[in-house]
Amino acid sequence: MELQKLHTDVLIIGGGTAGCYAAITIAENSPDTNVIICEKANIRRSGCLAAGVNALNAYITEGHTPQDYVDYARQDAEGIVRGDLLLTMSEQLNEVTAHLERLGLVILKDENGNYVTRGKRNLKINGENIKPLLADAVYRLKNVTVLNHINMTDFSVTDDRINGAFGFNTQKEIFYSISAKAVIICTGGAAGLYQPNNTGFSRHKMWYPPFNTGAGYAMGIRAGAEMTTFEMRFIALRCKDTIAPTGTLAQGVSAKQVNALGEVYENKYGLTTSQRVHGTVMENLNGRGPCYLKTEGITSEQDDALLKAYLNMAPSQTIKWLESGKMPSQQNVEIEGTEPYIVGGHTASGYWVDTDRETTIHGLFAAGDVAGGCPQKYVTGALAEGKIAAGSALKYICSHDLHEVVDEEISRHFSKAEKFLNGENARFDCEQLEEAMQTVMDRYAGGIRTNYRYNEKQLAAANERISQIEALTETLCAHDMHELMSIYELRERLTVCKSLIAHLEARKETRWHSFAENLDYPERDDENYLCYINSKLENGRIKIIKRRTVKEDEHYEHNDRQ
């Protein structure tokens, strides 16, 4: 591999929703600041927004306030949220929405020019081209350099302060060492930890992008950053087979969740996100599955509108309807829970940040699905966090100089990658080890096939086996840069799995059914667990830190770094 050393004021890792918007914010507020975006694919269609999205799920609609949004998210998460993060995010939602519209996003309006809402917090849009719109806006910026097809793998940190990061080109044999005054991590969440719904040819037909592999979490964990609430996994309720979102059916045509007997069951179990999944699991366990969204009886105009709406975000579902010859008006849509994901934009897993989105590593900021404590972010929340993190990074670089990444550290990371590229005669390949990891997580750490449940004995077994698989990754070899990326992705996932298992083990209660259902402790325990479970890697061991809840009237700072 060739080695390239670069320098910049701000390095943004991950050119997705939050990353692109962070770059836009920096350029608007400080046009002379140099920014590099490193993106593993191409910012035009990378990350969650690749296929398009169906609605803006987070917006403060007429008659509501940002505080209402905080209250909603807190209730849905049974209390384990950061009030300060939710409020500062919510206060930005409408402004970033207006900006999206200026960038060209089509948002439905009524005859008076007001946005048409869907439910209490959503706006109706045509979100098929939302990512190209963001990317075009980034390419118009003068001092922002976009490096596509660069997979970042590690931070350089000295004395808890960021110096930069390392990565490599996914196509050409080039290794990068990038020194920066500040870094914003925006790599999204982690999919592919657990065995997915489809296990064969269509194994990657999952809800969360299979290419968001938890790199940002793993980089932070290895660098000693504090992480929060990994145990609050996200499990989505989705259309069977296609794993397409269900909100359009539930909210758009008011389809209710019904069991095989046609009974509406959603009210029996509660309406929080986790209770909706749990209800579906219980109906199946009690012999009343499969479960459906009741669409039979809608009109044929509604059928046509649904076919189009799904083409704008999850085209497989439209093709499925067309191929089967049965429209939703003629046949209820079967639903199932997905495998668990770690995603801080829906639940609260991720970096432990202060109110300004700085992590516990000085000069490293986090935004979007990679940042913890602030669930229900969705698209607009990720933009809002990108904006807040960018503002904080700009402030930080005013008083901090560049710390050049030292050659000795570069050569350590460079040789590690070279070792995989030069290896021969590997016993196992990456795909086998990935399957092994997913099977272990599924069976022992509460996957689909154990109805998302686990006990302490199983978690201990999971931990042991994941450690064994991790050791085997040292023997892998890569024949090209794409295979090298696969090895690093697998290693990232294994790092995330180990932290996740430690978190599941540490929360000795069941606060959220399905998301964290501990069979040894089936009840909620507010006396001991109305707090955050945080973790930090110290001398190769995961240390668990319990922290008190933070309310929205507080400006939280990292005063007691552990």
Binding site for ligand FAD (CB under 6 A): 13-19, 38-41, 46-49, 53-58, 151-152, 186-188, 207-209, 211-212, 215, 245, 345, 368-370, 377-379, 382
Indicate the residue type of 511.
R
Separation of alpha carbons 124 and 259, rounded Å: 29
For the CB of residue 487, give the shortest distance to ligand FAD in the complex, in Å: 13
Binding other proteins (rule: CB under 8 A), the pick from 1, 108, 174, 530 is: 108
Q: Which of ligand FAD, other proteins, none lies near 245, with the C-beta cut-off 5 to 8 A by kind?
A: ligand FAD
CB-count exposure of residue 315 (10 Å: 0-12, 13-18, 19+):
middle
For the CB of residue 435, give the shortest distance to other proteins in the complex, in Å: 12
Interface pattern 133-152 for other proteins (x via CB under 8 A): ---------------xx---
| Interacting residues of 226 by C-beta distance below 8 A, sequence separation 6+ | 351, 352, 359, 360, 534, 535, 536, 545, 561, 562
For the CB of residue 533, give the shortest distance to ligand FAD in the complex, in Å: 22
Separation of alpha carbons 115 and 516, rounded Å: 37
Separation of alpha carbons 320 and 291, rounded Å: 18
Which residues ranging from 202 to 261 are in contact with other proteins (CB under 8 A)? 202-206, 209-211, 241-242, 248, 251-253
Q: Which of other proteins, ligand FAD, none lies near 556, with the C-beta cut-off 5 to 8 A by kind?
A: none
For residues 493, 165, 13, 233, the Cα torsion angle rounded to the nearest 10 degrees is: 30
- 295 φ/ψ sector (left φ>0, alpha ψ -120 to 50, else beta): alpha
- Closest to ligand FAD by CB, 370 vs 550, is 370
Q: Are 362 and 389 spatial neighbours (Cβ–Cβ below 8 Å)?
A: no
Q: Which of other proteins, ligand FAD, none lies near 496, with the C-beta cut-off 5 to 8 A by kind?
A: none
Binding other proteins (rule: CB under 8 A), the pick from 82, 99, 118, 238 is: 118
Binding other proteins (rule: CB under 8 A), the pick from 395, 412, 482, 543 is: 482
- Closest to other proteins by CB, 200 vs 287, is 200
Binding other proteins (rule: CB under 8 A), the pick from 70, 125, 327, 405 is: 125
Strands of 137-246, DSSP E: 144-148, 150-158, 161-169, 174-185, 227-228, 237-239
Scanning 73-81, 194-202, 380-388, 441-449 for contacts with other proteins by CB under 8 A, the matching segment is: 194-202
- Closest to ligand FAD by CB, 18 vs 448, is 18
SS3 296: coil
For the CB of residue 536, give the shortest distance to ligand FAD in the complex, in Å: 21
Separation of alpha carbons 112 and 121, rounded Å: 20
Separation of alpha carbons 402 and 190, rounded Å: 30
Which residues ranging from 47 to 76 are in contact with other proteins (CB under 8 A)? 47, 50-51, 54-55
For the CB of residue 505, give the shortest distance to ligand FAD in the complex, in Å: 27
For the CB of residue 124, give the shortest distance to other proteins in the complex, in Å: 5
SS3 489: helix
- 224 φ/ψ sector (left φ>0, alpha ψ -120 to 50, else beta): left
Residue whose entry in the numeric block shows the structure tokens 């429209």 = 327
- Alpha carbon 464 to its chain centroid, in Å, reads 26
- Alpha carbon 176 to its chain centroid, in Å, reads 25
Residue whose entry in the numeric block shows the structure tokens 């300060």 = 84
Separation of alpha carbons 363 and 313, rounded Å: 36
For the CB of residue 518, give the shortest distance to ligand FAD in the complex, in Å: 27
Q: Which of ligand FAD, other proteins, none lies near 187, with the C-beta cut-off 5 to 8 A by kind?
A: ligand FAD
Report CA torsion sign: 314, 315, 316, 317: positive
Report CA torsion sign: 298, 318, 313, 294: positive
Which residues ranging from 287 to 326 are in contact with other proteins (CB under 8 A)? 302, 305-309, 311-312, 315-316, 318-320, 322-324
Q: Which of ligand FAD, other proteins, none lies near 202, with the C-beta cut-off 5 to 8 A by kind?
A: other proteins
Interface pattern 4-43 for other proteins (x via CB under 8 A): ------------------------------------xxx-
- Closest to ligand FAD by CB, 283 vs 372, is 372
Q: Are 195 and 441 spatial neighbours (Cβ–Cβ below 8 Å)?
A: yes
Binding site for other proteins (CB under 8 A): 40-42, 44-47, 50-51, 54-55, 106-108, 116, 118, 124-129, 148-149, 170-171, 198, 200-206, 209-211, 241-242, 248, 251-253, 302, 305-309, 311-312, 315-316, 318-320, 322-324, 482, 485
